[in-house]
A and B are shown apart, each in its own frame.
Chain A
Amino acid sequence: MTKDQQKDDRMEQAVAKKKKRSFSRLMIMTVVLFAGAITLMQLFDQAGNDGRIEAGDEAPNFKLVTLDGSTLYERDNYEGKGMLLNFWGTFCEPCKKEMPVVQENYAALQDMGVDFWAVNVGETPLRVDNFINDLGVKLDYPILMDTKSEVEGAYGIYNLPVTFVIDGEGNVIEKYEGELSKEKLMELAEKSL
């Protein structure tokens, strides 16, 4: 073997060794960063999953009967275009104020293909019935009774009233906390389409 050949040989070995080293470095860094990325993804997944339904989440399904006990409403069986899902209580002043506003515009909503469901949170039918009679306005939209507060829990409700804007595919487009004015109501209805 000549000296040149030896030199070439050693060069080749060095190059091969360097390649091997680069590869193992890449592997080590990839594995660690990949594990980190999975952890972070899990984290983001959980951040959106704190038990409170927000815009971007899928609307949880539920089955509730109306105040008069005559009809069962199931969220996933809804076939209209959009939906406004409202949560309210007799003890909540803005809820009381927004109800006549919703009633006035309910026909217009239905013409748009948007339904308005009002879920009462954890009260007795007796109290709700009295409350609605005292309201002095006949409500055409469904009042659903969540007597065991299960749906309230599933949606993670803190403040009342709250209205979820849900599109035809059952995705929450927006969560609006506060009293509904006519303008706000129509704006939310538009968004649900």
Chain B
Amino acid sequence: MLDMKYDGADLRSKRRPRSIIDRVWSFFASVKVGLWLIGLIIVGSAIGTIFPQEMYIPQQLPPEQYYLEEYGTPGSIYYALGFHNLYTSWWYISLIVMLTLSLIVVSIDRGVPLYKALKHQPVRRTERFMKGQRLFGQGEATDAQMDEMEVALKKKRYHVKRDGDALLAEKHRFGRWGPYVNHVGLVIFFLGAMLRVFPAFHTDTLEWVREGDTVSLEATDGEYYLRNDQFILEMYDPENNEEDAKFAAAIEKAGAVPKNYETELTLFKKTGMNEDGSPQLEQIDTGSTKVNHPFKFDKFEVYQEQYSSRPEFLSMSFMLADKQTGDEYGPFKVDLENPEQSYDLNGVTVSLKDLYPDFEVKDGQPNTKSPRALNPAFFFNVETPDGATESNLIGIRLNVADEDNRYEVKFAGTEMASTSGLRVKSDSTYPILIVGATIFMIGIVMGMYWPHRRVWIRRHENDVLVAGFTNKNPSSLRREVSPLLEQTGLPMWEDQARFTSKSENESIDERGES
């Protein structure tokens, strides 16, 4: 049988390559190379799922340290080879670029000759060509029977061409373009994937914002600022909420169950710079972001992604009690970020001598574990009107003072702030990806559901030859056309693949035109 791939057309890349251009072209025109590229991309993608991608790991440590400490040497290799940012690793992008080129070259190399061969195909084919088709029959018949066949084929929506005593009926030729349409879709898709590397098309950053703070958004290149007005963490509360009471049993079992994570936000746009280097901000919008309900502005989306489980202290307030008279002074408030060092309370002066934002005792000395106000402790000196100085070390569940002190510093209240982790994203490549994927699917459907069918009939000496071709599902072509052959009395064809082994004539590659 004849090799009917690309309709026997001559593939340019199969000619002996001469120049370097031709050689490179032939390399990318090879289906084998294309399959290798796809294989490598699949294997790479699979390995990329073994450990988490960089965007999903905690941010307290530098990533190279995290992968090493968490996963040992394999983690370290994983990081070094760029698997932690798979889709933007240099070799992954290189593979995608090569596959894109391969798809384009293959399509031109095969699609163009196929198109030309089908466009200019003759109605009359050689005897050898017709005998080389999978469906072939030979026998006696009249011209009238052929005319009858033409009508019958037209009824089955075949396009019929006549050339003297030869007939060509064809349908669904466009199904042959399916793979090429599919390739166009893929190329568009990959183009979109490559554009994601550029910040103008795709940004993705996590911003930690403490309540009350305003931060410049890196994803917007400092054009926009967000203020965290309030972070809300609601728990299911079966005791006080009727709705939640339904789940009482489940909640009892699970402990505290969060119901809502939400950050109330104010959006600012930078309009200029002040002289001291701080930005001039104009309020644009207010809103909130909840899990799965992002706050949207411009082309950006702000997702509630994380929160810090330990709120920070902004300030602490204290009262000063006179143990002799029972009088109380205050309260006075100590701002933890920018503390006043002296507080005058009706003639009694309290001075702040030291402040440990994250208190611990180390080697018998008060100390701080970090600069974050997670567990503040204060060292106060109270200067009494009679000239004495009394020391106090006050913290959470901590009050170290001399029993004989006249004054006692008492804890009166706190202001705290939670920190919310917001993911700021933009992705303008979605439309490109959707268009690419849609074209890809259209190509698949075209190729899958519209098999290209052709029937040739011609007179040869005293006989009539009948041959059939389809690129898919030959039995369905037989089911469609065999009854017509029977009805018109033309010679019946046989499926030659049933009788001859396939390898016999596989190398024959002939255009078969007469």
Contact = CB atoms under 8 A, between A and B. Distances in A.
A43 B101 contact: no
Interface in A111-137: 121-124, 126-127, 130
Nearest to A32: B101
A89 B62 contact: no
Interface in B404-448: none
Nearest to B352: A126
A121 B371 CA distance: 8
Interface size class of B (residues with CB under 8 A): 35 or more
B463 to A, nearest CB: 38
B338 interface: yes
B25 A25 contact: yes
B104 interface: yes
Contacts of B235: none
Given A25-B21, A42-B198, A158-B62, A147 B100 contact: no
Interface string B335-365: 0111101000000000011111110000000
B62 A52 contact: yes
Contact of B19 (A22, A123, A147): A22
Interface stretch (B87-95, B135-143, B161-169): B87-95
A29 B13 CA distance: 14
A107 interface: no
Interface string B208-238: 0000000000100000000000000000000
Contacts of A35: 97, 191, 194
A124 B88 contact: no
Interface string A35-51: 11001101110100001
A26 B118 CA distance: 27
Contacts of B61: 158
Contacts of A26: 21
Contact of A36 (B97, B218, B339): B97
A122 B371 contact: yes
Contacts of A22: 19, 21-22
B188 to A, nearest CB: 13
A43 B371 contact: no
11 contacts: A21-B12, A28-B105, A35-B191, A36-B101, A91-B370, A124-B338, A124-B357, A126-B352, A126-B355, A147-B338, A158-B61
Interface of A: 21-22, 25-26, 28-29, 32-33, 35-36, 39-40, 42-44, 46, 51-52, 63, 89-91, 121-124, 126-127, 130, 147, 149, 158-159
Interface of B: 12, 19, 21-22, 24-25, 28, 61-62, 88, 90, 93-94, 97-98, 100-101, 104-105, 108, 191, 194, 197-199, 218, 277, 336-339, 341, 352-358, 367-371
